[in-house]
Structures are given as structure tokens and as C-alpha cells.
Structure 1
Amino acid sequence: MIKMAQAGYIKHLYETENKSKSEIARITGLNYRTVSKYAEKSDWNAEKLPNVEPSAYPSLGKYIPTINKWLEDDRKVPRKQRHTAKRIFIRLCEEEGYTGCYSSIKRYVKKKKYLMNQGVSAGCLPLAHPLGYGQGDFGEFIYYDDNGDQKKAYSLTISFPYSNKAYIQVFPSQNQECLLTGMRRIFEHIGGVPVRIRFDNMTTAVAQVLEGHERVLADGFMRFMLHYRFEADFCNPASGNEKGNVENKVGYGRRNALVPVPTIKSFDEFNEQLWDWCEKDAQREHYQKKVSIQSLWEEEQAELLALPEVPYDVFRYEALKVSKTGFAAIETNRYGLSPELHGEIIQAKIFCDKIEFYHDHSMIASYRRSYGKNEELMDWTQYVRTLCRKPGAAEYTRFFESMPDPWQLYLKETKGKDRRDALSLLSEMIDDGNADITADILTLSQENGRTDTDSIRQAYYALVKDRKPPEPLALLSDVPKLHYSPDLSAYDDLTGGAEND
């Protein structure tokens, strides 16, 4: 095949300068048949791709199904571990006894990959619900917490329209951390990743809706998508019908898995129970195909992408300034840190269920993540060091009642230097990482009738710091034995010796 500029030159010589084909062949140095082809050509539409059927590759014919299977399986693994044309050639030679040339394989693989990327498969039309394609959405429901209070929560559903199977996980919010954590849990539970997932234009995934189907994705969602290698499609605005399968599944799950209104004491424990419900539900018959949903799912599961070697850690960082009273605000809630950090910039590592606070690359506090409004979460251990400088204010602080009961009573009974010394010891135990046994130490000392600070400290050191007895000294085997018999008669001259006996 010649270049388009050469073809244009041939056409110009033939049509405009009235050169004969023989003259054009001499001028261009091309074969007469090539000149004739382009001189008389009238249809200049782009040439169609050659067929990839075996008839186009006679020496490769019987190996085509094997090559197709390898290339189709490659969709499920990372790109770095997919077959190249060279690797296919080597495997065919070693495993299938192929004796043809490499160039035939190279041409076929190139065309086959092109057709695969266009979503076209030889011999069949694209499926309405392709294998391994999913849809995702949140649904709202109510539940009772462990105090019997009614709360609102959200169920994340990932459905697979081909088999009609779906998986549900519930969260106290539908923020990005909950979305990505739920997707990761579902991926890990099913042992693979959907090839494509369709969503609506949720703000946790889409930062900006552009013209047509163009979207600017949120950074966290884009990073998650790249990590798990799936593609994402998004519905047109106000067109939830474009993901009708998951819309139906959200309602179905709410009417069946969440009725009667559940009591949720732990979202993690409740989500574990939901796996069993999802698997049991898949035993029913498919509404249209008249076979079990589970049997269709097993067919579909084989088309999922492989999980990455390293799981994705779902969190986001946020830089915060600590207030004068030692609080850091996230959304509408305030989390108590040490007042000694007031004015400092700290980093919050925000997960779906907890928040870790870091200062100078060290973790200084960890709290459950609050989804309430204007809540104030405090950890009394954060304030003891500051309280050592103002011991008289202990009973008047907002965190005092969250301290262990024995320490509340003890501090109320002490004043002045005794209280300061007690708070200093309490701060020492907290710094040692033993905040959980401070009440036990104080109770032990009181049971032995000693409540002064030194006695409490002695009890702490005996139980924690001096718990391990010293190892016996290991002596060398060749240490000499000394036989020493001193003569004490010299002392008799000094003391009167026998005269005083």
C-alpha cells in the first residue's frame, strides 16, 4: 500500500495532465498495476478492516480459538501481565505445535485487539446486559440504634443485570468514604471486579457534569477506579431509568432485607449478616431466564477482573487548626485534642468509621467518626497533661465525668500539692500507654489501705514497670573458687578480745 500523497500524485497525473498509465509508472517508479489501481479509483472511503475469521489467515486457522481465548482472558488481568503478540507466538510454538510465521500472528492479534476495544465480538451482537457489567446506587432506610433511637442510614447496592444478582452493604452516610469502602468490601467478597459499573451523577463520584456524557470525576473516586481497573459510566441527569436494574434492587433489598426495621448496634456486624442474605436470595429463579440467579452468576463471575495485589485503603486527609480549647472541627462536629496544640495545624486521616489525628507525623488521638450534628467528642486522656498546671479546675471541666469513677472520687478528695502529684502520676501512666488500667491501679492501692501518691506509684511500678524479675547472672564455667579463711585474732588486740569474753 502506498502513501496517500503518492495516490494523489498518480490521480493528478492521470486526470489533470492526461498522462498514460505507462508514463505515470515510469515517472513514479511504481508497478503498472499499482498505478492502474489508483488512477481509476473512484471510491476513496477509508478501507474497512480485514476480517479476523480464520479464512483470512489460512496458516493460523485452527489456532484462532486458542488465541481468542487468551486475549479474552487478558481482560481480567492487569495490563502488564497480558499477552503480547510475541508471547502468543512463543506459547503457540511450545504448547500447540505451531510452525507458521510470527508476522501472521502479529497481524491477527492487532486486528483482534482493535475489534475487542470497539466492543465487537466475532459472530454475535453486543449483549443488552454484558457479562461482568454492574450498576451501583445508594438507597435510604431507617433503623434503631442500641439505645432504641430511630436513625437514618443508607444501603449501597451493586447489582449485575445479566444474572440479576446483587450485593448490599449499609452505612451511616453516603459520603465518598462509605461509597468506596462498600465497593471494596463487595469486590473482595465476590473475588473480582466488575468490568464496567453504571452510576447516577452522585457528587461522591462526579465533580462536574459536562456536556453529553463527559464528566469530571472526583479525585478520590478516580484514584479508586484506576486502582481496581474498572470503567465507570454515568447516567444522563434525572435519568435513573438508565440504571433500572439497580434501582429495582435497591427497593427490593429495602423491602426484604431491611423489613422489619432492623436494630443495628454495629454496622460491621450487620454487614456480615447481609452477605448471607444476598447469597440466599440468589437461589431463587431468574424472573425471565427461568434458571437460578446463582447459576447465571457463576457464569458471570468468570468474567470479572482480577483483584489487585494490594487492597485500596479508603480515607482522605484534611488539614485542621486546633482551637484554643483543643478542638478540631470536621463537618459540624468537634473532636477533643490536647489544649497544648492550640493554634497548631494537624492532619486528620478520615475513614468511613473513624478519624485519626496526626501532629508532626505521630498519631495523637483516634475517635469514632460522628455522623450526628454539632456533637462534641472528648477523650479525657488528652487533657490530663494540661490539667497538671491547673489542678484546681478538675471538677469544673467538661471531660471530668468521662474519667474513670475511682479517679473522679480520688481527685475530689485531694487538694493542692496532693492533687497535682496525683495528676502528674496519672499523666505518666497515660504517656506509658496504660490509660486502660489506671482505675485498676488506684483501686488496688486503696484495697491495701494506702491512698497517697507514692503508694499508688509503687503499685503501678510493681504491676507494670517492675513486673519482670531480673535474669540470674550467667557465670563462666572457669571462674575460680576462692577458699578464704580470715584470721580475726588481730581484732582481739583492738577490742580486748578474749579479756572481754
Structure 2
Amino acid sequence: MRNVVKRFVGRHEKELNDELVKMALYYRFEPVVTNPFSGHEKGHVEKSVQVLRRKAFTKQYEFESIGHAQKHLDQAILELNLDSTIAVEQAQLQPLRGFYDYGITTKQTVDKYSFVHVNGNYYSVPDYLVGQKVIVKRYLNELKIVGSSQIIATHLIQKGEKQYSIDIRHYLTTFLRKPKSLEHSLVLKKTPKLRHCFLQYYQKTPRRFLQFIENHLSISLDQLIIQLEEEALKDHKVSKTPPSRAVNEARNQLQEYNLIHQVRKAANK
């Protein structure tokens, strides 16, 4: 959890963090913070989450899934709220003001390779944004990148560090100028299925491959690969690239190794 106070301005003024201010504006409450080294100023609800956690998960703390854990928590909350006075407060409640955007918002500068860096990982954006500022909204499992007041890229959150989430459609302008650079590009290396399709059917016609993608920007990557393969099979201008000599030799060596392994396994029995 972030600190409520982002920084101190003078001796008494405090600047609150942006996420708290956003939540306060949505739910219409006024944040109240204590002074430094003044624990006696804190309210009696300081450990409300800890109390609820102990009540709900002390006796049972292992579950088959998050869904089962959520049902258990819901039931525990119902039991704790049997004596609630919420009915008295409901008359004063106001309707919600639309959908609350719970994503963590930051500003990022697009690097020279058309990536934004989030938690040590790399996410692609359209290459015309190199050097510009964009807004990044990070959710639990998804990342949305906003530029010019519209969503320009969406990615799944990458686990770990130095991972890449790349969309080839973000680099079409660059590759159409230099189509031969596509074969050994990082874009294809990080999208194995698309790379396999390219090497198998379009290695000799990279521009045709890129133009097909440019004409089908609205479909998903999986659908794009299927249509690329269908286009290659029905169009005689796009020929399937046969396996190279090195690939055939590697396959033969692998078959020989498997045969030796089976013989040794039978001998050991």
C-alpha cells in the first residue's frame, strides 16, 4: 500500500498521493491524516482490515480457488454484519458516479524502440509515438496505454522482469520501409506462432506478409495467423518455404538419438 502523504510542503501542509485523491473524489469523502509522530490521533478503525482477516481466515485458510475464498469471505462478512446499522445510513447515501477506474495511472516516455517500461518489463506502442509522453493504466492483469485521449495499445501484464509484450501492428510503418529486416527482428522472435507462419509461407515475400497484416488490423493475433495461413495455401504466389538442409540434419540426429535412447531403455529392463 502506498503512503497516504506523497510529500510534505512546509511544516504542516501535506500533499496526498494521486490515487487517494482520485478515490476521494469518486466516493465523495475528505481524507483526514494525522500529524507526524502523533499515533494518539489515529481513529479506532486503524486495524479494521486486520480484524476482518482474523475473523474470516483464522480457522479456514486453504481454498481450492479464489472463487471459493471469495464465497467464504462473503459469508463471514454477512455474519459479522448481522447487527449492522447500515439501514439508518442508507437514506443519506448517494448513487455511484459511473464506473470507477481502479487502474494505477502513470506517465511514461516512449523509448527509441517504441516501448514503454513498466515494472522492469517492455510493452510496445505504435512507432510514431517514439519520444512522446503517454499515459499508462495498470490493472490487475492488463495494461492500457492512452495517447491523444484514446487507447492506443492493450497488453497482458508480463510476469517477472525484462519480459516483452510486442504487437507487430505497432511497427508496420517501419517494416514496410524495410521489409527484409522483419525476418531477424525482435518482434517475430517474441511472437513464435507468427514467426513460424512467416518462415513457412512468407519468407521470400515479406512485403506481402506485412501488407496483409495492414489490411486486417481489427482482428486478433490468433485470427490473423489463421488467415495468413489460409491466404498462403490458396494463393500460389506465396510458396511454402521447404526446411533447410540444417533443419533436416537436425531432425535426423534427433531421430537417431531417440532410437539409441529406446535401445538403452530396453537393455536396462
Structure-1-length-normalised TM-score: 0.39
**% identical equivalent positions:** 17
- Asked if residue 226 in structure 1 is aligned to residue 25 in structure 2, the reply is yes
| Unmatched tracts of structure 1, length 5 or more | 1-173, 175-201, 264-269, 285-292, 455-501
> Which of the two has higher C-alpha Rg?
1
Written as runs of structure 1 = structure 2, the 5 A alignment for 1:220-369 is 220-234=19-33, 239=39, 242=44, 243-256=46-59, 259-260=61-62, 270=66, 273-282=68-77, 293-297=80-84, 299-304=85-90, 305-311=92-98, 312-315=100-103, 317-369=105-157
Quick one: structure 1 residues 241 and 374, their matched pair in 2 at CA, closer, same or farther if it must change by over 3 Å?
farther
Instruction: Give me the whole-angstrom Cα distance separating, in 2, the residues matched to 1:369 and 1:434.
Output: 17
| Deviation for aligned residue 1:327 | 0.9
Counterparts of 1:216 and 1:344 in 2: how far apart (Å)?
A: 28
Q: Deviations over 1:447-491 (max 9, x none)?
A: 54x34259xxxxxxxxxxxxxxxxxxxxxxxxxxxxxxxxxxxxx
2:58, 2:226 → 1: CA distance?
Answer: 49
Conservation of the 8 A alpha-carbon contact between 1:407 and 1:442: no
Structure 2 residue identity aligned to 1:444: E
Unmatched tracts of structure 2, length 5 or more = 240-269
Displacement of 1:296: 0.5
C-alpha displacement at 1:256, in angstroms? Answer: 4.9
Which residue of the partner structure matches residue 229 of structure 2? Answer: 443
The answer to whether the Cα contact below 8 Å between 1:357 and 1:364 also exists between their aligned partners in 2 is yes
8 Å contact 2:125–2:170 — kept in the other structure?
A: yes
How much has 1:405 moved relative to structure 2?
2.9
For 1:61-100, list aligned pairs within 5 A.
none
Letter in 2 for 1:396: H
Report the Cα distance in structure 2 between the residues aligned to 1:370 and 1:410, rounded to whole angstroms: 25
- Give, as a single letter, the amino acid of the residue that structure 1 aligns with 2:237: D
- After TM superposition, give the deviation of residue 436 of structure 1 in Å: 4.4
What code does the residue aligned with 1:226 have? L
Which residue of structure 2 aligns with residue 381 of structure 1?
A: 169
Structure 2 partner of 1:207: 6
What is the CA–CA distance in structure 1 between the aligned matches of 2:194 and 2:164, rounded to whole Å?
A: 24
CA contact (8 A) 1:411 1:419 kept: no
Could you tell me how far 1:214 is from its partner in structure 2? Answer: 7.8
Q: Is the 8 A contact 2:124 2:170 kept in 1?
A: yes
* Counterpart Cα distance in 1 of 2:193 and 2:123: 22
1:331-375 CA-to-partner distances (Å, cap 9, x unmatched) read 433212233432233333444543322333443211234564443
Given that residues 103 and 138 in structure 2 are in contact (C-alpha distance below 8 angstroms), is that contact kept between their aligned partners in structure 1? yes
Q: Deviations over 1:151-188 (max 9, x none)?
A: xxxxxxxxxxxxxxxxxxxxxxx4xxxxxxxxxxxxxx
Cα distance change on mapping 1:441 and 1:253 into 2, 3 Å? same
TM-score using structure 2 length: 0.66
Work out whether residues 317 and 347 of structure 1, in 8 Å CA contact, stay in contact via their aligned partners in 2: yes
Aligned residues: 233
Q: Contact 2:169 / 2:213 at 8 angstroms: preserved in 1?
A: no
- Assess, with a 3 A threshold, how the Cα gap between structure 1 residues 345 and 248 changes in structure 2: closer, same or farther: closer
